[in-house]
Amino acid sequence: MNSQLLEQIDSERLPVVDGELLFWPQTELGMAYEHLLERLMAESPWRQEEISIYGKAYRQPRLSAWHGDLGYSYSGIRLEPEPWTSTLLDIRERVEKLAGHQFNSVLLNYYRDQNDKMGMHSDDETELGRQPVIASLSLGESRTLLLRHKTRKDLATIKLPLPSGSLLVMRGNTQHHWRHGINAERAHCGPRINLTFRTIKPLAGRGTAR
């Protein structure tokens, strides 16, 4: 594959055209990363959602949970939020300080092992606005985020390993120009939880209780 390995660098800004990526290889989360991983596994009401792709129903190859203030729709499913837990509120405060942005919801994805994955996509739903700021915190097994430009086929796929405790902020035009995803791995992987903090804007004329 045409790819480029981005090393973890001290600088917080990753070099990417047509987008803005900020990266912290390690963040202070107030407790050991493994303990936080275990706590989130125990506290969130994990579900395996069915999604519809071209009218066909599939079970997502991972578990997920959605907490926040407002509902959210994607890939044909409607998510009603679970309430914030004190664990999530504490993480949100830390993430908001680093990202310099306030979030009203978080999507948790639980990759149980090497077979769990997420297809290439952009977080570009209308509710997220035109230049969404998305803060992605990873805990547990390191998995590699792939980033592919939508039109510039001359640009290499970016491979960004996301180790436990790392924070990636995607902002500016990133969602407009790039897709990202997590492939399955051949080698054994332990559990990983990724939290993407988002700001959902209420859409005019659309209630949250649908």
Is residue 189 near ligand AKG by the rule CB under 6 A? no
Dihedral of CA atoms 125, 201, 165, 5 in degrees, nearest 10, equals 30
Q: Which does 136 bind (CB under 5 to 8 A by kind): Mn ion, ligand AKG, none?
A: ligand AKG
Name the residue whose CB lies closest to ligand AKG.
194
* Residue of 69, 123, 124, 125 that binds Mn ion (CB under 5 A): 123
Paired tokens of 85? 């837990």
Residue 143 CB, nearest approach to ligand AKG (Å): 7
Binding mask 125-164 for ligand AKG (x = CB under 6 A): -----------x-x------x----------------x--
Nearest to 193 by CA among 94, 100, 109: 109
CA pseudo-torsion sign 6, 101, 82, 79: negative
Judged by CB under 5 A, the number of residues near Mn ion is 1
Paired tokens of 25? 């290889």
Specify the residue, 132 or 165, whose C-beta has the smaller distance to Mn ion: 132
> Applying CB under 5 A, which part among 26-34, 47-55, 71-79, 123-131 lies near Mn ion?
123-131
Radius of gyration of the chain (CA): 16
Which contiguous run of DSSP H or E holds residue 106? Answer: strand 105-111
* Residue of 38, 123, 124, 125 that binds ligand AKG (CB under 6 A): 123
Residue 168 CB, nearest approach to ligand AKG (Å): 8
CA angle 152, 170, 53 (to 5 degrees): 70
Strand pairing category for 167-171 and 134-140? antiparallel
Report the distance separating Cα 134 and Cα 21, nearest Å. 10
Q: Which does 44 bind (CB under 5 to 8 A by kind): ligand AKG, Mn ion, none?
A: none
Residue 205 CB, nearest approach to ligand AKG (Å): 26
* Residue of 135, 146, 180, 200 that binds ligand AKG (CB under 6 A): 180
Specify the residue, 136 or 199, whose C-beta has the smaller distance to ligand AKG: 136
**Contact in structure between 13 and 37 (CB atoms under 8 Å):** no
Q: Is 205 left (phi over 0), alpha (psi -120 to 50) or beta?
A: left
Interface residues with Mn ion (CB under 5 A) are 123
Interface residues with ligand AKG (CB under 6 A) are 107, 109, 118, 123, 136, 138, 145, 162, 180, 182, 194, 196
